[in-house]
């Protein structure tokens, strides 16, 4: 039965990529009318729906993180705030567009991994996107199959008080995996978490329970979860190796405070973080810690 599910998932993914590419070419080659616009829109949503089903099926053939999953206290609710609502609307809209535009890449990458590195092609980890919500985070496999083996001692070598920061020079990364990590293509499957589980494009990264247990040694650690978890965030544009765990947690809590504040404009902050993320991917240039703090202060609405 598992082989049947795997085959079904691959067929759905291939169909979405091929059919999605055809629609893009048709849109670019023809002049859209009101009727044809809605025709294309309906087809796009059908493709995305099938793509979600395909990814959920394929997630059954992934490597699972062995972290324990238990319940935690709920995060306090956030009242209505316009910038927070704009953030969510933008997250959903951009995620839909990116999934549509990147649909050929969604299937090309696992095919390349399967051909070059072999099975499995996915890695799935149980991670907390808030104190009360643990979800499966699906990624393309970028490391060797036995990366969690004790022989690599990844936690002993690279765990820093709750943040596991493995450099790309580490031997556990595959050649293709380094490319996926450097270009951040490894994260694009999390767009489904944006649509299905309330994650954001911009926010603090979701963490496994093992990491959270170590973070609990810091005072106020829980405040980093007061905003939706994201694909990239304020600490990513600084560079995870350019800051200490204390500095990273401070920046994450400062960002989450924007989400909770009645005067702060987190939507404006997200636009700047998106800009610095693109700049970092294209040029390798990161933002300084003081620059990141100044960015957050500039949109805080405080005198």
CA–CA gap between residue 142 and residue 130 (Å, rounded): 25
Token code pair at residue 4: 């049947």
What per-residue confidence (pLDDT) applies to 202? 92
List, for the chain, all residue ranges whose pLDDT scores fall below the cut of 50: 1-2, 4-5, 59-72, 74-75
Q: What is the pLDDT of residue 70?
A: 43
DSSP annotation string for 134-182: EEEEEEE--B-TTTTSTTT-HHHHHEETTEE---TTSTTB-HHHHHHHH
> Under a CB-based contact definition with an 8 Å cutoff, are residues 288 and 296 in contact?
no
Domain assignment of residue 38, yes or no: no
What percent of the chain clears pLDDT 90, i.e. is strictly above it? 12
Within-domain flag for 78:
yes
Range of the domain at 234: 65-298
Domains held by the chain: number: 1
Per-residue pLDDT, 243: 85
Say if 94 falls within a structural domain.
yes
Rounding to the nearest 10 degrees, give the CA dihedral for residues 165, 87, 56, 9: -100
With respect to residue 27, please indicate whether it lies within any of the assigned structural domains. no
pLDDT of residue 48: 59
Q: 52 lies in a domain?
A: no
Quick check: helix, strand or coil at residue 264? Answer: coil
Residue 186 in domain: yes
Burial class (CB in 10 A: 0-12, 13-18, 19+), 65: middle
Residue 230, strand partner residues: 200
- Short-list 267, 163, 265, CA closest to 206: 163
Give the DSSP letter string of 175-208: HHHHHHHHHTGGGGGGHHHHHHH--EEESPPPB-
- Give the torsion through C-alpha atoms of 228, 232, 233, 234, to 10 deg: 180
**Domain assignment of residue 246, yes or no:** yes
| 201 vs 251: CA distance, rounded Å | 17
Residue 39 lies in a domain: no
Question: Residue 240: its pLDDT value, please?
Answer: 78
Distance CA 233, CA 72 (A): 23
* Cis peptide bond upstream of 9, omega within 30: no
Distance in angstroms (rounded) separating the CA atoms of residues 272 and 296: 10
Q: Is the pTM of this model over 0.85?
A: no
Q: Which secondary structure element, helix H or strand E, spans residue 82, and what is its range?
A: helix 82-101
Point out which residues pair with 139 in neighbouring strands. 123
Task: Note the pLDDT of residue 68.
Answer: 45
Could you give the CA distance from residue 40 to residue 194 in angstroms, rounded to a whole number? 23
């Amino acid at each position: 039965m598992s082989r049947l599910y795997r085959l079904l998932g691959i067929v759905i993914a291939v169909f979405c990529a091929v059919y999605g590419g055809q629609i893009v070419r048709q849109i670019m080659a023809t002049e859209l009318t009101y009727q044809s616009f809605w025709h294309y829109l309906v087809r796009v949503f059908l493709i995305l729906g099938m793509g979600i089903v395909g990814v959920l099926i394929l997630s059954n053939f992934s490597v699972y993180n062995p972290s324990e999953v238990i319940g935690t206290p709920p995060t306090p609710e956030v009242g209505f705030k316009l910038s927070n609502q704009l953030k969510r609307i933008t997250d959903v809209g951009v995620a839909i567009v990116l999934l549509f535009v990147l649909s050929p890449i969604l299937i090309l990458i696992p095919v390349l991994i399967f051909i070059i590195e072999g099975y499995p092609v996915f890695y799935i980890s149980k991670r907390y996107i808030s104190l009360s919500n643990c979800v499966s985070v699906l990624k393309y496999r970028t490391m060797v199959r036995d990366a969690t083996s004790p022989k690599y001692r990844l936690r002993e070598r690279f765990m820093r008080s709750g943040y596991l920061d493995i450099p790309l020079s580490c031997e556990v990364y595959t050649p293709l995996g380094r490319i996926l990590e450097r270009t951040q293509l490894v994260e694009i499957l999390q767009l489904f978490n944006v649509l299905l589980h309330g994650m954001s494009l911009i926010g603090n990264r979701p963490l496994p329970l093992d990491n959270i247990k170590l973070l609990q040694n810091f005072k106020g650690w829980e405040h980093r979860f007061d905003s939706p978890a994201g694909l990239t965030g304020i600490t990513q544009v600084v560079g995870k190796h350019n800051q200490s765990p204390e500095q990273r947690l401070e920046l994450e809590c400062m960002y989450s405070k924007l989400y909770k504040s009645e005067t702060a404009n987190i939507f404006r902050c997200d636009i700047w973080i998106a800009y610095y993320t693109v700049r970092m991917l294209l040029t390798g240039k990161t933002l300084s810690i003081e620059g990141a703090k100044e960015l957050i202060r500039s949109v805080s609405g405080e005198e």
